Amino acid sequence: MTAFAAARPGLFVRLLLALAALGLLSSCGSGAVSAPTTPPTATALAIAPSTATLYADSPFTFLVTGGTGTYLITSSDQLAVPISGTLTGNALTVIPGPVSVDTPVTLSVRDTGTATPISATLTVKPRTVSNVVTVTPSASQSAACGTSVCAGGDAEVRVQLSQSGLPLANRTVRFDVVSGEFRIITSAPGAPEILSVSGTTTSDQSGVASMRVRVLSDALSQTGLLQVTDLSSGFTQRASFSIAPSSNAPLNAQPATITFQGVAANTCASGISADVIVFGGRPPYQISQPGSFNVSPTVVTSSGGRFTITAIGQCSAGSAIAVVDSSGATASVTASNALSAVTPPDPVEPAFEVSPRTVTLNSCQAVGNFALTGGEGTYFAASGNTAVNLVVTGSVASAQRAAGSGTLIPTPPATTVTVVGTLSDGKTPKTVNIILSGPGLGPC
């Protein structure tokens, strides 16, 4: 073959080509020829969306597909969109940095193969809505709900709008219900209440926008989610707050005092029971178990439920039974168990009396006194108006105009004004009249 090839080189080349076409010649010498291989075509890169508006401090997610699956991401403005590195997977989340004006940014994407690089065109807008949104329950709701908003209660939502540290006044702001059993109060103060899932208002001179919300009366325990939108810039901010399944009634247990007494001489009651009703606050309620009585059940699941106190024959001058709701509010029931007729009756105290029941203050220096007698012997006083001081010293209550207080002349003008005060021995309240006249009506 060597001699033949040397003698007829052109014929030898044609023979080799013919054998290769018949599959009889292999580059490995195995007698077969392999077909040439073609590199696979790379899938084109894609990013969605390719054009987007982003807001400072608000995460935004892109979907990157195609190529090798491993991507190199760069940003044309690292202050506006701080990202540069490798992404493995398809979800690309960026968090724009703070900007003072609308800022264009180009996001470049290439893979580790030969796919053609692509880019996304972004516009980063400055933050205008604060990330601090306060939800303050109305002062009239029960303290049992704590920082949560009671079912049926209302709350004020406040947020500040600013840009580059300057407040944005007179901006139209929309409040939306995202989820939860609450609504936006859209009616004006004092008008019949109108509830909606969305409402708008404007920010004041300090850039603060506020709106009231109302929780539905039958709302269960949950988290409410609302959204605040600056309609001028489109910037949004979400906030959550807790909703408590409770009325505005404070935690209470009645009767608060129960007295058992034995039926046989020299014995205390045994086997006698009394029911206590628990309401208000936030159920369920935990009931303590004193050693001198039997309490059942120790958990009351709903407002209006009851538990039973049973005497077990152990004498007690007064055992406190604690009622604690789910928010930590407490109430107390005092149960006592006395001996039968052997126990002397409580001494009869003289009735609580106040004299006189009316005094007149005709100047800022005038003092009116009330004599207190009987009752428990520990006296308390409360004035019906802060312009009049009503205090107790020993067994004498004194009324006098408060220093620095203004005029009490009503409209239309009157010659006298009566302030109603309350005096009590801790058990029985008595009302008294404090009549202001002459200079006593003027500013003090």
The pLDDT confidence band at residue 164, using thresholds 50, 70 and 90, is: confident
**Cα(343)–Cα(143) distance, rounded to whole angstroms?**
41
Q: What mean pLDDT comes out for the span 392-398?
A: 92
Please, are residues 69 and 79 in contact by the beta-carbon 8 Å criterion?
no
Which DSSP string do the residues of 65-84 spell out, in sequence order?
ESTTSEEEEEES-TTTS--E
What is the distance between the alpha carbons of residues 143 and 9, in angstroms, rounded to a whole number? 107
Helix, strand, or coil (residue 226): strand
- CB 291 within 8 Å of CB 257: no
CA dist 151 and 247 (Å) reads: 6
For the chain, give the mean pLDDT. Answer: 86
CB 107 within 8 A of CB 119: yes
CB 104 within 8 A of CB 123: yes
pLDDT 10s digits, 15-52 = 444 444 444 444 434 444 454 554 455 699 999 999 99
pLDDT at 441: 84
Cβ atoms of 144 and 137 within 8 Å: the answer is no
Picking from 253, 392, 262, 398, the residue whose alpha carbon sits closest to that of residue 320 is: 253
Q: What distance in Å separates the CA atoms of residue 298 and residue 276, rounded to the nearest whole number?
A: 12
Whole-angstrom Cα distance, residue 155 to residue 160?
A: 17
What's the CA gap between 80 and 123, in Å, rounded?
9
Average pLDDT (356-370) is: 92
Q: Which two tokens stand for residue 261?
A: 């007494």
Looking at 189-198, 234-243, 404-413, which range is the least confident one? Answer: 404-413
Residue scoring higher pLDDT (54 or 12): 54
Domains in the chain: ranges and CATH? 46-125 (2.60.40.10), 134-244 (2.60.40.10), 252-338 (2.60.40.10), 353-441 (2.60.40.1080)
Most confident of the following: 25-39, 112-126, 365-379, 405-419: 112-126
Is residue 213 over pLDDT 70? Answer: yes
- Which one is predicted more confidently, 438 or 111? 111
Residues 102-131 have pLDDT tens digits of 999 999 999 999 999 999 999 999 999 999
pLDDT at 223: 95
DSSP state of 168: -
Partners of residue 135 on adjacent β-strands:
157
Write the DSSP string, 126-162.
PP-B-S--EEEE-TTS-GGGTTSEETT-EEEEEEEBE
> What is the DSSP code (8-state) at residue 10?
H
CA distance 186 to 379: 48
With 50 as the cut, is the pLDDT of residue 349 above it? yes
Q: What is the pLDDT of residue 219?
A: 86
Residue 6 pLDDT > 50, yes or no?
no
Report pLDDT for 13. 40
